[in-house]
């Protein structure tokens, strides 16, 4: 009896010792977990708050930028300013208007720049640091706006030496840009205070240069070291003249989960090293980056408090367990003899309990089988749901594809509508020709001299032009109808029809046209009448270039003007299974000036020479080839002239 009791007591002591080791290990793990959890929770809360502040500020900043960008539009569309830019006389009235406008919107300055980049009117015309007469042609906002593209720009003023947000907009008279309207707004309204947004707010441009902050210590630092190329570009534009643009002094950078934690050098603020959670967001409209630095305050104190709480819980738990075990030991000692006497009774009771347990186990096995069957049913239901989801996704993809096709068709129909308006301008050529013939008839009547064959040819050719242009407009109208379909046609045959129609006009101007091809099929799929209009426009452009070149004495009168059309079969189109057809149209008309060759396809572009047309034919041709027929139209200078290349 005593031996059994000592054996049981030894087992209890062993369990007690093992439990003590377990409690110590669990306590240490609990303390470590409390510290780590507190740190993660604190930083996560700061990160979430920073993200919420940034999203709200992004909306505020986007609204401010939109407001600033609208100011120059109001000036650029003012008829008084348009007239002033087109024919600037005295600027007194404009200066007064700009002063009133500037005061009403609360901007730093409002001014007008002419086509040469010189300020011709300004709201601060009477100030010591007036912009009047200043040359701002080097500023990117001027370069962009004078080319017809509105712009915005953050920089330190060359004259005022103060930073600001510059918004520019082209002043147009008709289709010509005659000047640029600029409004410089203060950056103060972009810099929310600490009472409005918790932490240090940094606003950086697309090069990550900080130009505004609710803490002036951070102004004109860069978020990282700038490359030599970026520094050279900023210096050339005089964007931040007078500042060093040093990188932000970050001495250490770590991550905690998804949060980025930086430690700034005390040299920046003359304080101790402070851990800051840094979150950022980008403004898609202009590429700006907005950062929020939030200090991790009293982190060590929070960790100690939570560790103390966990330690107290561990101690209380350990004491409770120890007292429970001690009471258990005393109870074992007191009841050991009694338990021995009742052993046989307990055995019988245990046998009965085992029987009940066996029945429970059988019931549990049955229940487990039932649950497995239910799980299988649920699995089948989930598979059915997944199949339905896949069908819904496929249907959504199909619907989205249809919507995209509708948008493409709408864009194409809008482009065709614009081209119908463009084609109307081409009526000027045949009508001018009719005017010339009528004038010749009048002169002949007066002097009794007229070549009947010449007049007949000119009239027939001009009428062919008018008939072709009428058919072209009808074709474009039909193209806008939903039933319009593309068709296969012979490129060679279409060009020969144009050559036949244009022969009389070319013969009058002493120009010959030839077509060269190595034979074979030159079939393509598209819109044949639109294609003919493109060929007619390019041939007419080449003929005018030759005539102009001859008038200027650049082409000897004894040398015949030539237009050569060459056909080639290109690569196989994998979608239509047709071979690409390449058409080269060259002339000896002296070529295109290099400074305008990149702009000849712009709508209504003209070289401003006396022989230049309206400048819409080539724009229309490029739209037809690339937007309607999915091809490509380019131009280059060759020896003695220019060459257009069409690939369809």
- The string of pLDDT tens digits covering residues 427-475 is 555 555 665 665 666 566 554 445 556 666 665 666 555 555 555 555 4
Decide: 575 and 516 in contact? Cβ < 8 Å.
Answer: no
Structure token pair of residue 1: 């009896």
Residue partners of 588: CB distance under 8 A and separation at least 6 = 546, 549, 555, 559, 561, 562, 640, 641
Q: Tally the domains of the chain.
A: 3
Structure token pair of residue 193: 């205070």
Closest CA to 486 of 584, 631, 646, 644: 631
Closest CA to 539 of 578, 583, 577: 583
Task: Name the pLDDT band for 482 (thresholds 50, 70, 90).
Answer: very low
Domain CATH number, residue 106: 3.30.450.20
Straight-line distance from the first to the last Cα atom of the chain, in angstroms, rounded to the nearest whole number: 108
User: 470 and 583: one domain?
Assistant: yes
If one compares 300 and 32, the residue with the highest pLDDT of the two is 32
Structure token pair of residue 634: 């380019």
Q: 373 burial class (0-12, 13-18, 19+ CB within 10 angstroms)?
A: exposed
Note the pLDDT tens digit of each residue in 379-421: 888 788 878 878 886 787 566 655 555 455 555 555 555 555 5
Residue 616 is assigned to a structural domain of this protein: yes
Q: Domain end: 248, 271, 300, which one? A: 300
User: 178 and 201: one domain?
Assistant: no
Q: 575 burial class (0-12, 13-18, 19+ CB within 10 angstroms)?
A: exposed
Sign of torsion over alpha carbons 374, 378, 383, 384? positive
Structure token pair of residue 608: 């401003």
User: 526 and 538: one domain?
Assistant: yes
- Distance between CA 412 and CA 45 in Å, rounded? 51
User: 277 and 131: one domain?
Assistant: no
Domain CATH number, residue 528: 3.30.565.10
Q: Domain end: 124, 154, 188, which one? A: 188
CA 159 to each of CA 75, 124, 129, 241, 511: distance values in angstroms, whole numbers, following the listed order: 22, 11, 6, 11, 58
Q: Give the mean model confidence (pLDDT) for residues 490-518.
A: 89
Which percentage of the chain shows pLDDT scores above 90? 29
- Distance between CA 539 and CA 502 in Å, rounded? 9
Biggest CA–CA distance in the chain, Å, is: 157
- Distance between CA 210 and CA 62 in Å, rounded? 17
If one compares 614 and 235, the residue with the highest pLDDT of the two is 235
Q: Which residue has the tokens 């600001």?
A: 164
Residue 67 is assigned to a structural domain of this protein: no
Task: Name the pLDDT band for 493 (thresholds 50, 70, 90).
Answer: very high
Is 281 strand, coil or helix? strand
Alpha helices in 426-482 (DSSP H): 428-447, 452-479
Closest CA to 283 of 71, 70, 66: 66
User: 108 and 246: one domain?
Assistant: no
User: 634 and 545: one domain?
Assistant: yes
Is 592 strand, coil or helix? coil
Residue 326 is assigned to a structural domain of this protein: no
User: 154 and 250: one domain?
Assistant: no
User: 610 and 642: one domain?
Assistant: yes
Q: Give the mean model confidence (pLDDT) for residues 568-581.
A: 73
Paired residues of 634 in beta bridges: 645
Note the pLDDT tens digit of each residue in 216-242: 888 889 988 889 999 888 888 888 888
Decide: 288 and 204 in contact? Cβ < 8 Å.
Answer: yes
Residue 42 is assigned to a structural domain of this protein: no
Q: Residue 408's pLDDT is what?
A: 52
User: 133 and 241: one domain?
Assistant: no
If one compares 16 and 39, the residue with the highest pLDDT of the two is 39
Decide: 219 and 213 in contact? Cβ < 8 Å.
Answer: yes
If one compares 311 and 433, the residue with the highest pLDDT of the two is 311
In which element (H, E) is residue 632 found? strand 632-638
Is 352 strand, coil or helix? helix
Structure token pair of residue 423: 């084609």
Q: Residue 483's pLDDT is what?
A: 40
Q: Residue 617's pLDDT is what?
A: 80
pTM of the model as a whole = 0.44
Using the predicted structure, report yes or no on whether residue 588 has a pLDDT greater than 80.
Answer: yes
User: 441 and 562: one domain?
Assistant: yes
Q: Residue 433's pLDDT is what?
A: 62
Is 576 strand, coil or helix? coil
Task: Name the pLDDT band for 53 (thresholds 50, 70, 90).
Answer: confident
Sign of torsion over alpha carbons 155, 161, 167, 173? negative
Structure token pair of residue 279: 């979150």
Domain that holds residue 110: 77-188
Beta 163-173 vs 176-185: how paired, if at all? antiparallel
CA 497 to each of CA 147, 501, 561: distance values in angstroms, whole numbers, following the listed order: 40, 6, 20
Q: Residue 448's pLDDT is what?
A: 47
String of b and e for 117-156 (b: at least 16 CB within 10 Å)?
bebbbbbbbeeeebbbebebeebbbbbbbbeeebbbbbbb
Paired residues of 276 in beta bridges: 262, 295
User: 425 and 276: one domain?
Assistant: no
- Distance between CA 436 and CA 397 in Å, rounded? 60
| DSSP summary character for residue 589 | S
In which element (H, E) is residue 590 found? none
Q: Domain end: 135, 166, 188, which one? A: 188
Q: Give the mean model confidence (pLDDT) for residues 249-264.
A: 87
Using the predicted structure, report yes or no on whether residue 135 has a pLDDT greater than 90.
Answer: yes
Using the predicted structure, report yes or no on whether residue 102 has a pLDDT greater than 70.
Answer: yes
Least confident of 21-30, 238-247, 268-277, 458-467: 458-467
Residue 131 is assigned to a structural domain of this protein: yes
- Distance between CA 487 and CA 489 in Å, rounded? 6
Q: Give the mean model confidence (pLDDT) for residues 332-344.
A: 75
Paired residues of 644 in beta bridges: 585, 635
Long-range Cβ pairs for the range 565-570 (8 Å, 24+): 565/495, 565/499, 565/513, 565/514, 565/515, 565/516, 566/515, 566/516, 566/517, 567/491, 567/492, 567/495, 567/515, 567/516, 567/517, 567/518, 567/522, 568/517, 568/518, 569/520, 569/521, 569/522, 570/647
Structure token pair of residue 318: 């350990």
Least confident of 151-155, 348-352, 400-404: 400-404
Closest CA to 614 of 546, 562, 528, 544: 544
Residue 307 is assigned to a structural domain of this protein: no
User: 488 and 564: one domain?
Assistant: yes
- Distance between CA 179 and CA 177 in Å, rounded? 6
Residue 22 is assigned to a structural domain of this protein: no
Using the predicted structure, report yes or no on whether residue 424 has a pLDDT greater than 60.
Answer: no
Closest CA to 537 of 388, 419, 389, 377: 419
Q: Residue 613's pLDDT is what?
A: 44
Q: Residue 479's pLDDT is what?
A: 46
Using the predicted structure, report yes or no on whether residue 621 has a pLDDT greater than 60.
Answer: yes
If one compares 520 and 170, the residue with the highest pLDDT of the two is 170
Task: Name the pLDDT band for 610 (thresholds 50, 70, 90).
Answer: very low
Supply the mean pLDDT for the chain: 81
Q: Give the mean model confidence (pLDDT) for residues 118-146.
A: 93
Alpha helices in 342-451 (DSSP H): 343-425, 428-447
| DSSP summary character for residue 631 | -
Using the predicted structure, report yes or no on whether residue 59 has a pLDDT greater than 50.
Answer: yes
Residue 341 is assigned to a structural domain of this protein: no
- Distance between CA 64 and CA 212 in Å, rounded? 14
Sign of torsion over alpha carbons 596, 599, 600, 605? negative
Backbone angle region of 242, left / alpha / beta, with phi > 0 → left and psi within -120 to 50 → alpha = left
């Amino acid at each position: 009896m005593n031996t059994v009791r000592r054996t049981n007591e030894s087992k209890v002591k062993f369990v007690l010792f093992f439990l003590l080791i377990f409690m110590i290990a669990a306590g240490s793990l609990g303390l470590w977990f409390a510290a780590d959890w507190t740190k993660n929770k604190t930083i996560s809360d700061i990160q979430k708050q920073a993200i919420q502040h940034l999203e709200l500020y992004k909306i505020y900043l986007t609204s401010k930028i939109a407001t600033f960008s609208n100011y120059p539009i109001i000036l650029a569309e003012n008829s008084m300013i348009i007239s002033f830019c087109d024919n600037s006389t005295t600027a007194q009235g404009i200066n007064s208007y700009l002063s009133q406008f500037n005061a009403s919107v609360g901007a730093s300055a409002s001014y007008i720049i002419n086509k040469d980049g010189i300020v011709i009117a300004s709201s601060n015309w009477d100030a010591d640091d007036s912009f009047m007469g200043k040359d701002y042609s080097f500023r990117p906002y001027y370069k962009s706006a004078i080319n017809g593209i509105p712009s915005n720009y953050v920089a330190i003023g060359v004259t005022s030496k103060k930073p600001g947000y510059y918004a520019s907009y082209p002043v147009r008279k008709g289709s010509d840009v005659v000047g640029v309207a600029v409004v410089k707004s203060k950056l103060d309204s972009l810099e929310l205070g600490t009472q409005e947004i918790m932490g240090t707010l940094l606003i950086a441009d697309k090069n990550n240069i900080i130009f505004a902050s609710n803490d002036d210590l951070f102004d004109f630092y860069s978020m990282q070291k700038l490359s030599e190329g970026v520094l050279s570009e900023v210096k050339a534009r005089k964007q931040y003249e007078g500042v060093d643009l040093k990188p932000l002094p970050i001495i250490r950078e770590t991550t905690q989960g998804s949060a980025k934690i930086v430690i700034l050098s005390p040299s920046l603020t003359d304080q101790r090293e402070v851990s800051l959670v840094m979150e950022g967001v980008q403004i898609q409209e202009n590429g700006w980056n907005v950062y929020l630095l939030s200090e991790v305050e009293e982190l060590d104190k929070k960790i100690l408090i939570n560790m103390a709480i966990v330690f107290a819980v561990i101690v209380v738990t350990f004491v409770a367990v120890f007292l429970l075990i001690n009471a258990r030991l005393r109870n074992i000692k007191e009841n050991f003899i009694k338990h021995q006497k009742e052993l046989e009774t307990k055995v019988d009771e245990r046998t009965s309990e085992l029987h009940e347990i066996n029945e429970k186990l059988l019931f549990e096995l049955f229940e487990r089988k039932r649950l497995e069957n239910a799980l299988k049913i649920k699995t089948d239901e989930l598979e059915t749901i997944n199949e339905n989801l896949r069908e819904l996704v496929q249907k959504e993809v199909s619907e989205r594809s249809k919507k995209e096709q509708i948008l493409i068709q709408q864009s194409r129909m809008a482009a065709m509508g614009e081209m119908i308006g463009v084609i109307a301008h081409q009526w000027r050529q045949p009508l001018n020709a009719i005017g010339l013939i009528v004038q010749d008839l009048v002169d002949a009547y007066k002097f009794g001299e007229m070549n009947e064959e010449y007049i007949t040819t000119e009239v027939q050719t001009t009428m062919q032009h008018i008939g072709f242009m009428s058919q072209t407009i009808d074709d474009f109208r039909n193209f806008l109808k939903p039933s319009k379909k593309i068709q296969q046609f012979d490129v060679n045959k279409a060009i020969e029809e144009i050559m036949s129609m244009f022969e009389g006009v070319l013969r009058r101007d002493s120009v010959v046209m030839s077509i060269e091809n190595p034979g074979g099929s030159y079939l393509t799929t598209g819109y044949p009448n639109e294609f003919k209009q493109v060929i007619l426009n390019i041939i007419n452009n080449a003929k005018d270039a030759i005539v102009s070149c001859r008038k200027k004495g650049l082409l000897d009168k004894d040398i015949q003007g030539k237009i050569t059309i060459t056909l080639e079969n290109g690569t196989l189109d994998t979608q239509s299974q047709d071979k690409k057809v390449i058409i080269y149209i060259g002339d000896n008309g002296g070529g295109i000036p290099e400074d305008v060759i990149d702009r000849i396809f712009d709508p209504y572009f003209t070289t401003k020479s006396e022989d230049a047309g309206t400048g819409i034919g080539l724009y229309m041709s490029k739209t037809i080839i690339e937007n309607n027929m999915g091809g490509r139209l380019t131009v280059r200078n060759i020896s003695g002239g220019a060459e257009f290349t069409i690939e369809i």
